C-alpha cells in the first residue's frame, strides 16, 4: 500500500521519467546537420527504449535515497511541517524560584530567561500550529512561535491545538491562560491520555476550561515501550501522524507519554521526562526506532546538581548515562539525539565549554529557535 507521501514521490518520479523520455525521443530522431536521418530506430526498438527509460526513472533510487543507504526503501518527499524548539529548561525555567545559586543570580542581573521544554509545530503551507506542552511560560513561547513563523491576527486562537505529555506543572499549567480571564479561547483541541483528561475534567480550575468549552479534550491511546501494546496514531493536523508511548515517570495525577511526530519526510521524538532508560529492556530502542531527531530528557548532567535534596524523589537519567548508552549513535549520526528539559542547576545549560564538549560527542543541547523540517 502506498501512503499519500509515497504516491506523491512516485508521481514526481513518473514526471521525471516522462521528461527523460521526451529528451531521449527527441535525441533519437533529431535531424543531423547533414539533413539526413541516420541510425533511425524501428518501432519495436522505440517501444523498448520508452519502457526502459520510464521504469528506470520511476524505480531507480534517487541520490538522497542512495546516500541514506537505501535501508528503508522509502520515497524521498518534501517536508510539510517544521518543528521549532520554544523552550529547553526544566519546569521552573531559569531563573528559578527560590534559587540563590550563581546561575540564577547572574540570570536575574543579566535578564537571561530560559523557559520550560516546549516544541511548536507548523504546517508550512497552511500555517496551522501546535504546541507540545502548555508551560507556565505559554505566552512567551506562543509569541516566539508567532514571531518565527510570521503569524498574526489570532487573539482568540493563538494555536490550533496542544499535545500534553503529563500533569507536572511545567507541562500543563499554561492551560489556565486559555481561560476567560486571559485568552478566552474557543474549543482549543487538547490531546492527552484518558487518565490525564479525566483529571482535567474533574479538578478545578481546569474543569472550568472544559465546562466553558475553552478547551476540547481528545483522548489518545498510547502504546507501551515493551512492545505489548501498539499506539493508535492520530492526526492533530492533517498529514501529521502522531504516536504516543507510555514512559516511566512520577505519575501522581496522570500517566506520562513521549510523542513521535511523523511528517512526510522525517520523524521527531519528544521525550522530555523519563525516570530511567533501564526500566525494562528495549525502552530506549523502541523510542528511537524510526526517529530522525530525538529530543530527550536532560534534567541532570551527572546527578550532583541538587545539594540538600534526595534525587531519588525526582529521578531522571543523567546526561552522562544517556551519552554512554548511545555512544555509537552519537558517533555515527551526530545530532540525531538532542538534549532538552535541563534543570536550572545543570552545568550544560550554563557552561558553553561543556556544551561544546557534549556537542563534540554527537549530542547537542537544543537551542531555542532551532527548526527541523519534517
Is the torsion defined by CA of 340, 345, 349, 354 positive or negative? Answer: negative
d(CA 216, CA 259): 20
CATH, domain range 81-373? 3.60.15.10
For residue 297, which phi and psi values (nearest 5 degrees)? -55, 125
Q: How confident is the model at residue 271 (pLDDT cuts 50, 70, 90)?
A: very high
Q: What is the mean pLDDT of residues 228-247?
A: 96
- Cβ atoms 373, 261 nearer than 8 A: no
Q: Residue 205, preceding bond cis, omega within 30 degrees?
A: yes
pLDDT of residue 194: 97
Least-confidence region, from 33-42, 137-146, 262-271, 353-362: 33-42
List the 371-373 sheet strands across, edge first: 215-219, 188-192, 162-163, 129-132, 118-123, 81-87, 371-373
The whole-chain average pLDDT of the chain stands at 83
Is the torsion defined by CA of 239, 245, 250, 251 positive or negative? Answer: positive
pLDDT of residue 78: 94
Given a cut of 60, is residue 13 above it in pLDDT?
no
Q: Residue 272, preceding bond cis, omega within 30 degrees?
A: no
pLDDT of residue 314: 58
Query: Going by DSSP bridges, is the β-strand pair 188-192/162-163 parallel, antiparallel, or unpaired?
Result: parallel
pLDDT of residue 249: 81
Q: How confident is the model at residue 343 (pLDDT cuts 50, 70, 90)?
A: very high
Q: How confident is the model at residue 282 (pLDDT cuts 50, 70, 90)?
A: confident
Q: What is the mean pLDDT of residues 245-264?
A: 92
Given a cut of 90, is residue 66 above it in pLDDT?
no
Given a cut of 70, is residue 280 above it in pLDDT?
yes
Q: How confident is the model at residue 9 (pLDDT cuts 50, 70, 90)?
A: very low
**Rg value, the chain, Cα:** 25
pLDDT of residue 26: 39
Q: Report the Cα–Cα distance between both ends of the chain, in Å, rounded.
A: 21
pLDDT of residue 354: 96
Residues 6+ apart with CB under 8 A from 220: 191, 192, 193, 194, 232, 234, 244, 257
Given a cut of 90, is residue 240 above it in pLDDT?
yes
Comparing 323 with 278, which gets the higher pLDDT?
323
For residue 33, which phi and psi values (nearest 5 degrees)? -65, -25
Element (H, E) at 28: helix 4-28
For residue 359, which phi and psi values (nearest 5 degrees)? -60, -35
List pLDDT tens digits, range 89-136.
Answer: 999 999 999 999 999 999 999 999 999 999 999 999 999 999 999 999
Comparing 53 with 117, which gets the higher pLDDT?
117
Given a cut of 90, is residue 315 above it in pLDDT?
no
Comparing 61 with 260, which gets the higher pLDDT?
260
pLDDT of residue 85: 98
Query: Going by DSSP bridges, is the β-strand pair 240-246/257-262 parallel, antiparallel, or unpaired?
Result: antiparallel
For residue 74, which phi and psi values (nearest 5 degrees)? -75, 155
Comparing 165 with 53, which gets the higher pLDDT?
165
List pLDDT tens digits, range 325-340.
Answer: 999 999 999 999 999 9
Q: Where in the chain is the domain with CATH 3.60.15.10?
A: 81-373
List pLDDT tens digits, range 167-217.
Answer: 999 999 999 999 999 999 999 999 999 999 999 999 999 999 999 999 999
Comparing 256 with 64, which gets the higher pLDDT?
256
pLDDT of residue 58: 39
Comparing 308 with 36, which gets the higher pLDDT?
308
Amino acid at each position: 500500500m502506498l501512503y499519500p507521501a509515497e504516491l506523491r514521490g512516485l508521481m514526481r518520479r513518473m514526471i521525471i521519467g516522462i521528461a527523460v523520455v521526451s529528451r531521449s525521443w527527441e535525441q533519437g530522431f533529431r535531424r543531423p546537420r547533414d539533413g539526413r536521418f541516420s541510425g533511425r530506430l524501428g518501432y519495436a526498438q522505440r517501444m523498448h527504449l520508452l519502457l526502459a527509460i520510464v521504469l528506470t526513472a520511476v524505480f531507480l533510487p534517487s541520490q538522497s535515497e542512495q546516500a541514506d543507504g537505501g535501508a528503508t526503501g522509502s520515497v524521498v518527499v518534501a517536508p510539510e511541517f517544521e518543528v521549532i524548539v520554544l523552550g529547553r529548561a526544566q519546569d521552573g525555567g531559569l531563573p528559578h524560584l527560590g534559587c540563590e545559586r550563581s546561575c540564577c543570580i547572574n540570570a536575574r542581573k543579566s535578564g537571561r530567561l530560559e523557559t520550560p521544554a516546549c516544541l511548536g509545530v507548523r504546517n508550512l503551507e497552511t500555517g496551522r500550529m501546535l504546541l507540545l506542552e502548555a508551560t507556565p511560560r505559554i505566552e512567551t513561547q506562543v509569541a516566539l512561535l508567532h514571531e518565527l513563523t510570521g503569524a498574526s491576527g489570532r487573539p482568540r486562537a493563538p494555536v490550533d491545538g496542544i499535545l500534553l505529555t503529563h500533569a507536572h506543572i511545567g507541562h500543563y499549567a499554561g492551560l489556565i491562560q486559555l481561560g476567560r480571564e486571559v485568552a478566552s479561547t474557543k474549543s482549543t483541541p487538547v490531546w492527552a491520555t484518558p487518565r490525564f483528561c479525566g483529571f482535567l475534567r474533574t479538578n478545578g480550575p481546569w474543569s472550568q476550561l472544559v465546562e466553558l468549552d475553552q478547551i476540547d479534550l481528545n483522548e489518545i491511546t498510547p502504546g507501551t515501550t515493551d512492545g505489548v501494546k501498539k499506539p493508535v496514531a492520530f492526526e492533530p493536523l492533517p498529514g501529521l501522524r502522531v504516536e504516543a508511548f507510555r514512559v516511566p515517570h512520577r505519575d501522581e495525577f496522570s500517566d506520562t507519554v513521549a510523542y513521535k511526530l511523523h511528517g512526510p519526510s522525517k520523524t521527531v521524538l519528544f521525550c522530555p521526562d523519563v525516570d530511567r532508560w533501564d526500566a525494562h529492556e528495549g525502552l530506549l530502542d523502541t523510542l528511537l526506532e524510526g526517529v530522525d531527531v530525538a529530543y530527550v530528557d536532560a534534567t541532570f548532567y551527572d546527578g550532583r546538581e541538587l545539594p540538600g535534596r534526595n534525587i531519588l524523589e525526582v529521578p531522571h537519567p543523567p546526561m552522562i548515562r544517556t551519552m554512554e548508552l548511545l555512544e555509537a549513535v552519537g558517533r555515527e549520526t551526530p545530532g540525531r539525539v538532542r538534549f532538552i528539559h535541563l534543570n536550572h542547576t545543570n552545568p550544560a545549560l550554563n557552561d558553553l565549554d561543556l556544551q561544546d564538549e557534549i556537542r563534540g560527542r554527537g549530542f547537542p543541547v537544543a537551542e531555542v529557535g532551532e527548526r527541523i523540517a519534517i
